[in-house]
Amino acid sequence: MFLKKSKLIKSSSMIAFMAFYFGSVFNLSFWRFITEKVEVSNFYDFLFALSLPLFIFVPLWLFFSLIIIPKIYKPVLSLFVILSGITNYMMYKLGVYIDDSMIQNVFETNIREASDLLSMNLFLFVLFSVALPLFIIFYFDIEFKKFKSELSFRIVSTFILLFSLFIFAPLVYKDYASFGRNNKQIKKLINVFNYIHGTVKYYKKIRLEKRAFTILDDKAKLVPNPDDVYTVFVFVLGETARVDNFSLNGYEKETNPLLSKQNIAFFKNTSSCGTATAISVPCMFSYLNKNNFDSNDAKYTENLLDLMKKSGYDILWRENDDGCKGVCDRVKTEEMVKIGNPKYCTSSYCKDEVLLDGLEDVIKNIKNDTVIVLHTMGSHGPSYHNRYPDEFKKFVPSCDTSDIQNCSKEEIVNTYDNTILYTDFIVSSAIDILKKFNNLEIGLIYVSDHGESLGENGIYLHGMPYSIAPKSQTSVPMMIWMSDNMKKYDFINYECLKDKASKGQFSHDNLFHSLLWLMEIDTKIYNEDFNMFKGCLTK
């Protein structure tokens, strides 16, 4: 009896504790951002800095006043504690911003990708941060007042707190307006509200998706240049490769020993459409440009592969990454991990060499013009060390764990460079296979979906909002290799193209139109302005 009574607390204490704990411990990255960005140079700046804790605490007070209700408050609070513990880790340790695209990533990811992120570090960090609030939730019982007085207390207390904000408001309004404008991404760091907002926005998008499929051009057709050989084109879709770490781009370490000996056109300045796979991959195959691209529209609109298929190409998508994000929905697809070649695969992932296995036979047996997409796993982090076989562990010491925060910068970069070295081998080997078919009009493009941060300024991985993402997340390698037949039948001045590639500015926006042109497809949707071969044609 006595013990039971000692465990009772008032609802106001629980609301205050939660608002305080969430506002401080679960918002570490928000406060880190503030201490880095806010400069106090006058009295108003000082007031602004002083008001910030209040501007976090009051909305949280309101939030917990709404959800701390009898019977259900224990599971509801626990859920928010655990979710906030995890998002806090992702923001604070990995530099991630939580918004609807990040929520989309979470819902569209698979178990393997998720388990890649799991680590002892994550477990301990989350455990320490959620232990106290969970203890409070389960040790104490709230003694709720009668409904009317409980309600009036919450309304009055919220009103008083809001009023205190209004006292500050006229004095600091300008600071908030300018700070908010210059640091729009900060709202994606405010724990609880960031993932609630992101989830609501994501579900709104999903709801919109139940709609008709858009046909771009019913009359798209193949108008081949006069030649009597089949066209075969291989699209090697890269993952998380950043151009900074390619020696083809001047990187000091020799990460491209094989490709540097191939006769390729290397596009030095290529920017990605997004900073995450879920945006970049569908965008690369979409007629829309980066500026007007929407991943939901893309799912319900014909893409480059649809137009190729409609024009008469056979299409094969070989998948070794985390899915094609809707791009391959209507074409023949082979999933490497499901096929499970024991030479290259564990039960959850395969090394990229699996994509080359049997490729020669596939090309030998074509009965039509054919496009083959090889979706690589490339340099997907944070378990970079799982991406390549031992013989590619050339740069050491490496970071052989997914707890990349525990590795030195040098170890992380070395491991990442090994993934690039392996990618060099994969792409170069694919070219070697294609070289055997001088009876065909055959060629290859390699382009990565987005780059990666390797700890520069404390930022890891990718997926930052594009406007503030560092260049390393948006600068991607792109290269083309063409057989003599392809150069001849497509009227390509190859030396001109190599020169243009090394000097010009390119982006994922070029892919759709350039490949329509290269595959000799006649369609009204084609826009010559984006054709990257323009200016290097002999006809």
Q: Which residues bind Zn ion (CB under 5 A)?
A: 239, 277, 449
Residue number with CB closer to Zn ion (245 or 277): 277
Residue number with CB closer to Zn ion (277 or 402): 277
Residue number with CB closer to Zn ion (277 or 531): 277
Residue whose Cβ sits closest to Zn ion: 277
User: What CA–CA distances, in Å, run from 59 to 165, 192, 308, 408?
Assistant: 11, 10, 52, 39
Residue number with CB closer to Zn ion (23 or 282): 282
Q: How far is the CB of 478 from Zn ion (least distance, A)?
A: 15
Distance CA 420, CA 426 (A): 10
Q: How far is the CB of 530 from Zn ion (least distance, A)?
A: 22
Q: How far is the CB of 69 from Zn ion (least distance, A)?
A: 42
Q: How far is the CB of 322 from Zn ion (least distance, A)?
A: 8
Residue number with CB closer to Zn ion (129 or 376): 376
Residue number with CB closer to Zn ion (109 or 405): 109
User: What count of residues does the chain have?
Assistant: 539
Cβ pair 13, 73 in contact under 8 A: no
Q: How far is the CB of 114 from Zn ion (least distance, A)?
A: 15
Classify the phi-psi angles of 535: left when phi > 0, otherwise alpha if psi is within -120 to 50, otherwise beta: left
Read off the amino acid at residue 192: V
110: tokens are 């698979």
Distance CA 157, CA 142 (A): 18
Cβ pair 449, 285 in contact under 8 A: no
- 3-state SS of 348-412 is CCECHHHHCCCHHHHHHCCCCCEEEEEECCCCCCCCHHHCCCHHHCCCCCCCCCCCHHHCCHHHH
Q: How far is the CB of 101 from Zn ion (least distance, A)?
A: 12
| DSSP run (H or E) holding 319 | strand 314-319
506: tokens are 């390119």
Residue number with CB closer to Zn ion (81 or 284): 284
Q: How far is the CB of 379 from Zn ion (least distance, A)?
A: 9
